[in-house]
Structure 1
Amino acid sequence: MSTLRDEPLLCLEGVHTHIGQYHILHGVDFEVPRGQVTMLLGRNGAGKTTTLRTIMGLWPAREGRIRFDGQPIGGKGATLPTPEIARRGIAYVPESMGIFGDLSVKENLLLAARQARTVDDIDTTRLEWIFTLFPALKKFWLHPAGKLSGGQKQMLSVARAIVEPRQLLLIDEPSKGLAPAIIQNMIGAFRELKRTQTTILLVEQNFTMAKALGDTVAVMDDGRVVHRGPMAELAEDEALQHRLLGLSLAAHQ
């Protein structure tokens, strides 16, 4: 007999999203297994970011259903407010990173720690663990976040999402514009998060990262999911890569 723990952590069924007069998502269907990294791939404009924002309730799904941990959180007549979705254990790292440039690294993390009034209220063990993932954050603890490098800002944006335990991370193109060494640091951090049974839905254009991290993959095109399956199978099938993405992963190593 299957249990809730055997079910996907996140499930989208027939999700349609409109932004103003534009119909962006056209019946999106895919699942995110617990404790795994699911890659959401596709050409620019395919609907990946809209999918993440719809899951978070930032743009409501007009049709279909979104279930998280067995409970409805989105869909026609059922979309929860974004703060409530976050309280249920979902964190969103947007492509824009969402950090506060005038505040210090310390202040950014304190704002993200909902249960903490001062930095002393943050779990010390967890904070030290974050510093092992992203040592630069400890070094620049009191520096304004706006003065960090692009890679350090991305580290801070992820750290904000995990300063408290989360069941699911939605992360939008974390490697965009980063140097290869910083990308490798990100890959290591996400592997460590996966080791702690944190589930990740990751939008990414860097196929080295996708291949290194992905357990499963959903490929989008024109607001629909056109392929679902193991990431390893897509990574090994250049003909399928060309058909779905218009390029080869091997050309992006």
Structure 2
Amino acid sequence: MADILLRLAGVHTHIGPYHILQGVDLEVPRGGVSVLLGRNGAGKSTTLRSIMGLWTPSAGEIHFDGTRIDGQPTPAISRAGIAYVPENMGIFADLTVGENMTLAAASGTMDPQRLSWIKELFPPIATFWDRPAGTLSGGQKQMLSVSRAIIEPRKLILIDEPSKGLAPAIIRAMTDALRQLKETETTILLVEQNFQMAKSLGDTVAVMDDGRIVHAGTMAELAADNGLQERLMGLSLEVHQ
């Protein structure tokens, strides 16, 4: 049986009058990449934000590494070992790349060896270290956002749509970097619409629809079965090139 790092059981989340998550059951094994797929509006981003404590579930439980975390404040969840890369990247545009990285380190100091590794993963971090983050391209900002999340070792990284709006060459670079991060045994929960990227990285996959998980299994199984893709998504996921 897989070692489950993160488990959501019957999670409901309301945002104002809207019932977004309607009983989400999700398991993320320790190590590797779990991918969360689904149409726009299915509840994928809300799931990540509920895990991170940015929205408080109205029912259900979230367990991380043996501890229940639903209802805890976001800083406590972060200190437990979870980092979050939001779809809007969450960087400080007026600060330099280096200042953004320093702020992301809980201790205020960065391990030189780890920083060197990050600069190898994402060369623009080194190239634009003294440049205001707001002047970076979209792809460079995404690299900075991921770099901030991994400046300290984390047990789990939540990443929301890292390829959205990026050029194919940048997507390939991001995929390669996440593959290297995966090899460090860091667990990743990835929301991603680009199926080629998701397929190349994912070990397990869950598909959401209308605020619920409607399928969970291995990525290899889903990638090999166009009929299953069509039943779950209404079209072959191969269209997401």
**What TM-score, normalized to structure 1?**
0.94
Q: 1:249 Cα shift?
A: 2.6
1:10-37 Cα deviation digits (max 9, x unpaired): 0000000011111110100010000110
Q: 1:115 aligns with which of 107, 111, 120?
A: 107
Aligned to 1:135: 123
Aligned to 2:31: 35
Following the alignment from structure 2 to structure 1, what is the Cα–Cα distance between the partners of residues 230 and 85?
29
Following the alignment from structure 2 to structure 1, what is the Cα–Cα distance between the partners of residues 186 and 3?
15
1:214-251 Cα deviation digits (max 9, x unpaired): 00001000000000000111111111111111221333
Residue pairs, 1:188-227, within 5 angstroms: 188-227=176-215
Aligned to 1:124: 112
Residue pairs, 1:63-212, within 5 angstroms: 63-74=59-70, 79-116=71-108, 121-212=109-200
Following the alignment from structure 2 to structure 1, what is the Cα–Cα distance between the partners of residues 9 and 3?
14
Counterpart secondary structure, 2:188:
strand
Aligned to 1:235: 223
Following the alignment from structure 1 to structure 2, what is the Cα–Cα distance between the partners of residues 192 and 140?
22
Determine whether 1:46 maps to 2:42. Answer: yes
Following the alignment from structure 1 to structure 2, what is the Cα–Cα distance between the partners of residues 104 and 248?
42
Q: 1:252 Cα shift?
A: 2.9
1:174-213 Cα deviation digits (max 9, x unpaired): 0000011111111111111111110000000000101000
Counterpart secondary structure, 1:138:
helix
CA RMSD of aligned residues (A): 0.9
Q: Does the aligned pair in 1 maintain the 2:38–2:209 contact within 8 Å?
A: yes
Q: Which amino acid aligns with 1:205?
A: Q
Residue pairs, 1:57-68, within 5 angstroms: 57-68=53-64
Q: Where in structure 1 are there 5+ consecutive unaligned residues?
A: none
Counterpart secondary structure, 1:9:
strand
Following the alignment from structure 2 to structure 1, what is the Cα–Cα distance between the partners of residues 94 and 40?
31
Q: Does the aligned pair in 1 maintain the 2:158–2:190 contact within 8 Å?
A: yes
Q: Which amino acid aligns with 1:130?
A: I
Following the alignment from structure 1 to structure 2, what is the Cα–Cα distance between the partners of residues 38 and 202?
6
Following the alignment from structure 2 to structure 1, what is the Cα–Cα distance between the partners of residues 239 and 49?
30
Q: Which amino acid aligns with 2:91?
A: I
Q: 1:81 Cα shift?
A: 0.4
Q: Where in structure 2 are there 5+ consecutive unaligned residues?
A: none
What is the identity percentage for the equivalent residue pairs of Structure 1 and Structure 2?
A: 69
1:140-187 Cα deviation digits (max 9, x unpaired): 000000000000000000000000110000000000000111111111
Following the alignment from structure 1 to structure 2, what is the Cα–Cα distance between the partners of residues 192 and 31?
23
Q: 1:99 Cα shift?
A: 0.3
Determine whether 1:24 maps to 2:16. Answer: no
Q: Which amino acid aligns with 1:189?
A: A
